[in-house]
Amino acid sequence: MPFLYTWDEFMKLGDDVPNEQLDAVIDSLRANECCSLIYTSGTTGNPKGVMLSHDNITWTARTTSVILNPNRGEEILISYLPLSHVAAQMMDIWVCMSSAGTVYFAEPDALKGSLINTLKEVHPTGFLGVPRVWEKMHEGMKAVGAKVSPLKKRISDWAKSIGLQYNYSVMKGENVVPWGFMLSNNLVFKRVRANLGLDRCRVCCTGAAPITKETLKYFLSLNIPVRELYGMSESSGPHTLSLTEYRIGSCGKVMPGCKTKLVDPDEDGNGEICFWGRHVFMGYLNMPDKTEESLDEEGWLRSGDLGKHDEDDFLYITGRIKELIITAGGENIPPVPIEDAVKNEVPIISSAMLIGDKLKFLSVLLTLKCVMDDNGEPTDDLSPEVLAFCRQHGVKATKVSEIIANKEAAVYKLIQEGLERVNAQSASNAQKIQKWVILERDFSVTGGELGQHRQAFLSCSMTENKVGSIHV
């Protein structure tokens, strides 16, 4: 196979390069010079070339590898994201190089379903899964679990309640092992980890986009804590991590050697998140004006994200500054927490988009979970999870269009009741959803609702037949 080398063959490629030439290259390098260019997604204009220096990369890689693998054990990772993405570059190349690890490359269709097969083949020691990977695993496992016998379901539900109890105890720092945990571990947890290929995984992480609390709680109940990370291309990847300490819904605490500050916080403590540290980029290539907008004179990086800290200094992302909805009444409303709450309360919802800028009240556009085609594009076919709900409530529809055309009472009632629960938690009347509608098609790149960068995380379509017989 062309371009495939054994290690000895690879080392021989340098035999004809004189040491003087190698030394000259090494001597020409400077820690504060650009080493890598990563282009942003361009969701707020043309893509910008993020210049990461040698020091940015080596410091971040070393710090991250020590945090993720403090005992310097064997590191085995899977590369499945495009290497143009900062998470892939940092984890698959630089962190792995820093820890002398091994990288396995997934198949080209990893995000269309084959990633689960690679996980089961490789059994990585660490795994960074973008939210859609975890969510699709969750959906597939629930679909399989819905078909098991009542006895197996009762055993599974009991084990998951024990797993959730134990992990909530760990989060509080109590580490109380409840009665039945060892039995649950042997009957369910170990088997699930093995079937997912995560039996050797020391750390399971997620980042790059928001993940639902429902999915986090589901894996927590299976004794698979999925820890959230937060950062940007401009911060060489990670800025906050959830590892030895974690909270559901939080992206963790700031990395050692770095600082976070919240600018112009409101009465609830929500302010713009700013970063400082050796991981902060040099600037944007040939864009001094954009660099000046993002970096102040003291080296603080403006993220554009809104967030707040809890009493234990865990960071929570609450929205984007440019996404703020300003109603006709003048109230500023961050849409992300409300959209997330809708998806948490109504599990059959795939996407929720709040609208209400310059309007008298809030409305929300909803899409139902559906099957993705081989290109990761939404189809009209309902997902197994939605189909299961329909069968339980006597709804014969199998397509999104049928749900909408018939205005299926059970589905519409479920959504209405979920929105009422969301409204009951609203901080003010202005933040309550007054109207909603189900769209005929889920969001996608071709439909114009998503950018290419976002779609990389939404195109994974692991259906239940690709997850294996995991009865949970």
- Domains plus CATH for the chain? 325-441 (3.30.300)
For residue 109, give both structure tokens: 């269709």
Of the ranges 5-14, 43-52, 277-286, the best mean pLDDT one:
277-286
Is residue 47 within 8 A of residue 39, CB to CB? The reply is yes
Residue 1 CB partners (closer than 8 Å, separation 6+): none
pLDDT band at 449 (very low <50, low <70, confident <90, very high): low
Instruction: Please measure the distance between the N-terminal and C-terminal CA atoms of the chain and give it in whole angstroms.
Output: 41
Provide the pLDDT for residue 165: 93
The three-class DSSP label of residue 190 is helix
pLDDT of 458 strictly over 90: no
Quick one: how many helices (H) and strands (E) in the chain? Answer: 17, 22
pLDDT of 342 strictly over 50: yes
pLDDT band at 374 (very low <50, low <70, confident <90, very high): low
For residue 353, give both structure tokens: 């988009």
Parallel, antiparallel, or unpaired for β 226-228 and 230-232? unpaired
Residue 406 CB partners (closer than 8 Å, separation 6+): 397
The percentage of residues in the chain with a pLDDT greater than 90, rounded to a whole number, is 55
Provide the pLDDT for residue 139: 81
Higher-pLDDT residue of 452 and 408 is 408
For residue 350, give both structure tokens: 């795939």
CA distance 354 to 274: 26
List, for residues 12-36, the tens digit of each pLDDT value: 988 999 999 999 999 999 999 999 9
CA distance 195 to 90: 28
List, for residues 193-225, the tens digit of each pLDDT value: 999 999 999 999 998 777 888 889 999 999 999
Sign of torsion over alpha carbons 44, 48, 53, 58: positive
What average pLDDT does range 373-401 have in this prediction? Answer: 87
Of the ranges 160-164, 326-330, 384-388, 462-466, the best mean pLDDT one:
160-164
In the 8-state DSSP scheme, what is residue 107?
P
Residue with tokens 């790149």: 445
The percentage of residues in the chain with a pLDDT greater than 70, rounded to a whole number, is 92
What average pLDDT does range 359-382 have in this prediction? Answer: 87
pLDDT band at 331 (very low <50, low <70, confident <90, very high): confident
Residue 453 CB partners (closer than 8 Å, separation 6+): 40, 41, 42, 43
